[in-house]
Every structure is written in C-alpha cells, then in structure tokens.
C-alpha cells in the first residue's frame, strides 16, 4: 500500500440542521509540517528525521470564521459575539453549570467533520504542538482516538477553557488543533473530498445513536457490533 486514502467532508445534519455554508467554510485540513517549517525557518531541530517522521501524517484544523467566546463565572454563562442564539443552540454544545464546582467550561462543535477510510486508519485529535494562535492560547483540546475504517462518527473540535477571565478567539484561517492519522507501517495519508450524502449521514447517525441504547461499550465492542453495517457501505462505495 503506497498510501492510505482518507475521505473527508464537512459534517452537517441534513435533517435537523443543514448549514450548507459549512461545505465551503469548513476547509480541508492542512499538512502540519509545512506550516511548522514556515513558522520556524532555520531552526535546526526541523532537520531531525525523527521529527519529520513523527509529523508525516499530521494535519491542522483551522478556524472557519471569526468568533469570540466570553465567560461569566458567577452565573456560569458562555457567550458568543456573532451568529445569534440559533447558531449557539444548534451548532455548539456547552457545559459549565452542570459540571462539578471548580471544573473549567467545555465547548464543542465547530468545526465538525466526517472522516472515513476503506484502509486501516486510526485518527487522533489533540493539542497543536509548538505552533500557537489566539485560540490555542486559552484552550486545551479534549482529544481521542478511533479507527475511521471501523466506526463512522463526526470529528469535532472540543475544548476546555484555561482562564475564564480571558476570551477564547477563533480567527479565520488560524490553527486550532492537530489531526494525526495512524496507518500500517506509517504509510502516507491522502485526503480526498467526499460528499455528505443521505446514505453516509444515516451511517453516522446509526453509529452515534447505538450508544444511546447500549451504554458503556468499549471501542472494540462498537467495531464488532457495526462491522457488517460498515462493510455494506464499503461495498457500495468502493
């Protein structure tokens, strides 16, 4: 296998919240290492083969638009400066007042993608190393790893706020977090744009809703449970 092909698309719920503008605004993740080379020109550690190998399949999710979050500690309120209440209610999920006392606010939702592969590929969402932005200065990414050939679910940026006395700022085009792909023998990843079709949407919703009916399943159990269902999609779309 010369490369592992990963299909990606901005995720939108075609039934309940079809924000079609996200098909344009949620852009293709960018290769991390060229961004690092540009930001750290002449730095000697970038010549180290261990560094280049580490970041071979690393990509960056960038902010799709300008957006500022502010926080009111006394009443545990999370606010945004743009797009109104409907956007807040449908595009974001927030947690603060429902958390144990002293826990930081949690925000999740944008941008949101679906990524899947017919090859054996795991995906990891994590904090951005070395590079910084207005967003990364006051956030910690809530990361995770799963196999995108065995389980179809949205990938969304979710974060804790470091200091609630400061804002969290998204600036269009600035980096937010790192996507790392794990492939057999570390073969390179090729990203290919896909379309959010009704069939793909139904596969995603099925995977998400399984956990509402059977709780506390581990990843291996979810993979096994969905194997035939996922295989059917692969046969129809390869």
- Please give the domain boundaries of the chain with CATH numbers for all domains: 4-195 (2.70.40.10)
Q: What are phi and psi of 91, to 5 degrees?
A: -105, -15
DSSP3 helix / strand / coil % (the chain, rounded to 5)? 30, 30, 40
Q: Which residues contact 9 (CB under 8 A, 6 or more apart)?
A: 23, 113, 114, 193, 194, 195, 196, 200
Cα 120 to the center of its chain, rounded Å: 19
pLDDT at site 17: 66
pLDDT at site 221: 96
57 to 145, 225, 235: CA distances (angstroms): 14, 29, 26
* Structure tokens that stand for 29 in this block: 């993740």
Low-confidence ranges of the chain (pLDDT < 70): 14-17
pLDDT at site 238: 81
pLDDT at site 34: 95
Torsion sign (Cα): 99, 91, 173, 79:
negative
Report cis status (omega within 30 of 0) of the bond before 62.
Answer: no
* Structure tokens that stand for 193 in this block: 């744009």
40 to 34, 56, 61, 226: CA distances (angstroms): 10, 17, 19, 44
Q: What pTM, to 2 d.p., does this model score?
A: 0.94
pLDDT at site 14: 62
pLDDT at site 15: 67
pLDDT at site 38: 95
d(CA 226, CA 206): 9
Question: 């035939």: which residue's tokens?
Answer: 228
Question: 């009443």: which residue's tokens?
Answer: 75
């Amino acid at each position: 296998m010369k490369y592992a092909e990963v299909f990606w698309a901005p995720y939108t719920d075609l039934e309940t919240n079809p924000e079609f503008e996200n098909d344009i605004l949620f852009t293709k993740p960018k290769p991390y290492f060229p961004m690092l080379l540009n930001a750290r020109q002449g730095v000697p550690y970038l010549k180290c083969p261990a560094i280049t190998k580490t970041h071979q399949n690393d990509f960056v999710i960038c902010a799709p638009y300008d957006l500022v979050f502010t926080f009111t500690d006394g009443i545990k309120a999370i606010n945004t400066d743009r797009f109104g209440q409907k956007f807040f209610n449908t595009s974001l999920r927030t947690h603060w007042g429902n958390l144990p006392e002293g826990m930081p606010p949690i925000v999740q939702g944008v941008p949101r993608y679906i990524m899947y592969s017919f090859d054996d590929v795991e995906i990891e969402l994590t904090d951005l190393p070395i590079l910084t932005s207005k967003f990364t200065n006051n956030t910690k990414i809530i990361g995770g790893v799963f196999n995108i050939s065995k389980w179809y679910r949205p990938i969304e940026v979710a974060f804790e706020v470091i200091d609630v006395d400061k804002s969290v700022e998204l600036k269009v085009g600035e980096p937010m977090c790192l996507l790392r792909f794990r492939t057999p023998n570390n073969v390179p990843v090729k990203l290919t744009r896909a379309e959010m079709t009704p069939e793909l949407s139904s596969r995603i919703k099925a995977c998400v809703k399984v956990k509402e009916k059977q709780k506390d399943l581990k990843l291996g159990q979810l993979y096994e449970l969905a194997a035939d269902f996922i295989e059917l999609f692969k046969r129809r779309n390869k």
